[in-house]
Structure 1
Amino acid sequence: MYINELGVSRVNAIRKTSGLHYGWVIVFVTFITLIVSAGVRSMPSILMLPFQDEFGWSRGGISSVISIGIFLYGLVGPFSASLLQKYGIRRVVVISLAVLGGSMAVTPLMTALWQFEILWGIVSGLATGMMANVLGVTVSSRWFVKSRGLVVGLLTASAATGQLLFLPLLAKITVDMGWRYAIYTAVIIILVVLAVVAIWMRNDPYDLGIAPYGGEEPVKPAPFQGNLFLAPLIALRSAMKNATFWLLAGTFFFCGFSTNGLIGTHFIPAGHDHGIPEVTAAGLLAFMGLFDLVGTTASGWLSDRFDSRKLLFWYYGLRGLSLLFLPFALGASPAMLIIFSVFYGLDWIATVPPTVKLASQEFGKEKAGMIFGWVVVAHQIGASTAAYTAGAMRDWLGSYTMPFVAAGLVCMFAALMAIRISKASTVASQAQA
């Protein structure tokens, strides 16, 4: 009760002294929450080599755990949307952070692969999935009438920023002090963010008696209707009759295949195969994150103004070219890897804002969270597939060249799929903007 009253007083202070719409405070709190969630999800890439050395687990075995975590991270998305609608953003995020912190706190005690699978494959996957892209979509749709694309782009970019902030730090701690200290550091950060969310987060502008940003008057949110678990399934059944859904889901499958499943999981081990130190490779991933923060935020701005189908065509096409270039860059000079990091980083998850825009216009505001959640499931299935198969192929072939080339080719195919999305969705999107 005290925390809630303290939060209300600070909300009122911000509104009175700065004139800042509280929606931007919500964006900031959501941003740092997603940063931490993304930072935790990226940790297995720096834990793979230490676990291989200490426990004797193969890369394929470790990759299978990461694959399960990525899959559940996506699968929980549609159900997260319904939970956020029914119980509110603050309560769901606080519980998710508490579960995530608890699973990480006991990680240093594990001694077997099946324990790693429970803690990181299942518990961490479900907890971080509650704080994924669906959270950003829910915040933007509730708190903003104007600048939704920009907000979605900014919150989506937080995933890359999480890598930017955490990977080099955690990699340095892992190398200098051991992976357990890196885990303890992450737990402390999670507890700090949990306190911030408990104090500052609010579920809806109506709770404060204000209109959404760009709106004219407060709007009472419609109560959640239906069953928490059936509603997402009903939304999926309806969406499956729509060709646009299949094209969005298909392109997002290849998006996940070519980003967090492949590069996010295997770039550091691939660099190690070419003599690149773990901390240096983590720094390159963080460098990609820096440029993705710029690229994805800019993508949100562009999706408010231009044909989202054409944006997706260029994003997937350029990403494909960068992945075809990666095997050459790894075997060449450091300058080539920096060029790859910039080029690939600008495009890492720039696909999210135009995909959200098309989904929202095709299926409507009320269903947008759940439908996009199912599109994200396809993304994570693709990521899960890449996380496991790339590790298995590395054990089999001795290098990552084939997975990188395959990812580049499927991105080219995704570009062709994007341009076939219904023109009606794009026209509606531009009219809305």
Structure 2
Amino acid sequence: MTRIGHVKHRIHPAWLVAVAAFVALIGAAGFRATPSVLLQPLHDEFGWSLATISGAVSVNLLLYGLTAPFAAALMDKFGIRRVAMVALLLVSVGSGLTVWMTESWQLMLCWGVLVGLGTGSLALGFVATITGRWFVKHRGLVTGVLTAGGATGNLIFLPVLSRISESSGWRTAALTVSIAALLVVPLIYWRLRDHPSDLGVTALGSTEEIPKPAKPAGGAARNALRALRDAARTRAFWLLAGGFAICGATTNGLVGTHFIPAAHDHGMAQTTAASLLALVGLFDIAGTIASGWLTDRVDSRILLGAYYGLRGLSLLVLPSLFAATAHPSMLIFILFYGLDWVATVPPTVTLCREYFGAAGPIVFGWVFASHQFGAAAAATAAGLVRDQFGAYTWAWYGAGGLAILGSVLSLMLFAGKRIKPVAPGIGLAVPAKA
């Protein structure tokens, strides 16, 4: 590695920063795994409809997405470490306060608002900022590994929370998540750093020193909105945002929230369904890391087209696979779908950097916001479909069709001119025919 001055390191500090970020993402993912586990217990205890509880999930998903671009701008202004620590504290407080709730609006406040803001600050915009500052070599691969942190969180927390919820109640499960998020804060303070120059090194794979950028003028909100304004003038932004909205609808919004209740409708035990959803997380880790590796080698537009198309076909088959037991056909779906769960992230991050240059992390935050809009719409819509028709069948079919549309949108990125990358800053240089 290239050093600044005479600072020496056996292991490049970028890897230690990546490890700290990975653990933070696991901590944030703890509560992200909770909605599907607690949906039925909350319905049984309080009598709230699935649509009402899904509405709280939707608020969480919306804020999870909307917070991302503003959090990326806050990281530019106040530093990655400070923002990450505050975010984990919000997750911990929001999760812990749910044990005292008695009304649905309190669920909206704790589960929706506080946890939504906290996890949104540690969303994929956080990943894009880390990889953009610390990595030149292996950037796509590290993006895939960090993105897999959320899947790892699901893998760790889903079975554990499901068993805790059944044996000790949902309140104990919520407190478990609160404590887990809190325990990550000291690690973030110890190992996470804002920029390579803070430790006297360059980014991994960089051949020359990149000076630490000056804090942007103006407020973080203003800078985030300016990036959105400039990006929204381009065709590429809308194609990326449209595809990622469909990604959110077909993952977090539908499968992540409603797979366990849907399996329960067919007689499957909740712990079995939770274990299947955790397996999705296991295969997601492998799929996302592999996608990061491919992103360093294959055109990202081709990858996105393939990922969305294959996801759509798998969702169209899913309604015929539900049964009281996890038979081999369902396990094949879990394997296939898990490999594709968030494999879309590394190529999407790469395309945002390719089209929007130095403003790529903030623009990706807005693209990710569209992901969560799609997830929120799907979470609520699927709950309404279940309440109205007594089954999720049409929700699965609709999601399959949307995913195929996402494939088309991704391949449309081949048409038109690319945006010339800009120098470090918040605004974008948009060509006349973008």
Superposition TM-score, scaled by structure 2 size: 0.92
1:170 aligns with 2:192: no
Q: How does 1:22-421 map to 2 (within 5 A)?
A: 22-225=13-216, 226-331=218-323, 334-364=327-357, 366-421=358-413
The separation in 1 between residues aligned to 2:26 and 2:76, in whole angstroms, is: 22
| Contact 1:308–1:426 under 8 Å retained in 2 | no
Matched residue SS, 1:346: helix
The separation in 2 between residues aligned to 1:48 and 1:252, in whole angstroms, is: 25
Q: Which runs of 5 or more residues in structure 1 are unaligned?
A: 1-14
| Contact 1:244–1:422 under 8 Å retained in 2 | no
Task: Give 1:181 shift.
Answer: 1.0
| Contact 2:90–2:117 under 8 Å retained in 1 | no
Task: Give 1:219 shift.
Answer: 2.4
Indicate the percent of aligned positions where both proteins have the same amino acid: 46
| Contact 2:30–2:180 under 8 Å retained in 1 | no
For residue 94 of structure 1, what is the amino acid of its counterpart? M
Task: Give 1:331 shift.
Answer: 3.8
**Which stretches of structure 1, 4 residues or more, deviate above 6 A after TM superposition?**
15-18, 424-429
| Contact 1:77–1:374 under 8 Å retained in 2 | yes
The separation in 2 between residues aligned to 1:75 and 1:425, in whole angstroms, is: 28
Task: Give 1:36 shift.
Answer: 1.6
For residue 408 of structure 1, what is the amino acid of its counterpart? G
| Contact 2:244–2:367 under 8 Å retained in 1 | yes
Task: Give 1:118 shift.
Answer: 0.4
Task: Give 1:423 shift.
Answer: 5.6
Matched residue SS, 1:241: coil
The separation in 2 between residues aligned to 1:288 and 1:177, in whole angstroms, is: 25
**RMSD of aligned Cα (Å):** 1.8
Matched residue SS, 1:213: coil
For residue 290 of structure 1, what is the amino acid of its counterpart? L
Q: Which runs of 5 or more residues in structure 2 are unaligned?
A: 1-5, 422-434
The separation in 1 between residues aligned to 2:64 and 2:215, in whole angstroms, is: 23
The separation in 2 between residues aligned to 1:45 and 1:367, in whole angstroms, is: 35
The residue that corresponds to 1:9 in the other structure is none
For residue 72 of structure 1, what is the amino acid of its counterpart? L
Superposition TM-score, scaled by structure 1 size: 0.93
